Amino acid sequence: MSHDIQHQQFAQQFLERTVGFLEQEAQENHYNWYCMRQAIAVALILERGDLVSRVKQLWRQAKLHFGYEERLQIDLSADSFNQLYPIYPLSEVPAMVNLTVRTGKSKHIALSVEKRYSEAFPLAADDFEREQIIMTQIVLGDFDSAQQSLVSFNTVRDTKHMALLVFGVEYFRRDRFDQLQSILNDLRSSKMDMWDHVLLACGFAGREPWGGYPYADY
């Protein structure tokens, strides 16, 4: 099995589970516009027209149920999704990391990119900024340091769960499947939901899984 086919099959597996979650929720008249949007995006990226059709059917059901269509400020097209979920080459760090360093507004991140963690952490003003340092360590592939930081800097935020998602994407990108399996086991023990599946599917499809990745978008 070729490397690319193996990666695509992994992404498709998680996307199929996402659609299954969405369909199960729809039976209770529960719909998530934004998760449906990302599922359509990943299905288009993976050229899974069958899954696009299934989610668009849910979209129509949601429109009938709510009596309106959520305005997502983006059309459901491949071009729009390429902008929303840009290609994430293995040789690069995420766009937000580069942007943050270029603007010079977040010294703790700039130092982290240089792997000067002992200088970066004292500059972190709060849990959110400490979390940013840890996520930077992960996307740099400095996994041992990130694991140590998670233990040393116990935040009140749900940092560990987000870190597991970022670890999952970054291990996958580097073909470190033994470590990936361990991460997936940890996620499953906490009952992975539709969002966990669609974000991983997007990352496994070679895209940045959310805007501002690897940092929290809230």
pLDDT band at 74 (very low <50, low <70, confident <90, very high): low
pLDDT band at 120 (very low <50, low <70, confident <90, very high): very high
Chain-wide mean pLDDT for the chain? 91
* Mean pLDDT of the region 67-79: 69
* Mean pLDDT of the region 11-38: 96
d(CA 84, CA 99): 16
pLDDT band at 190 (very low <50, low <70, confident <90, very high): confident
| Residue 31: per-residue pLDDT | 96
Residue 49 amino acid letter: G
The model's pTM: 0.92
Condensed to tens digits (0 to 9), the pLDDT of residues 132-189 reads 999 999 999 999 999 999 988 876 677 889 999 999 999 999 999 999 999 999 999 9
The half-sphere exposure of 139 on its side-chain side, counting CA atoms within 13 A, is 29
Residue 60 amino acid letter: R
| Residue 210: per-residue pLDDT | 96
Give me the DSSP letters along 49-110. HHHHHHHHHHHHHHHHHHSS----SS-SSHHHHHHHS-B--TTS--HHHHHHHHHT--HHHH
d(CA 166, CA 176): 13
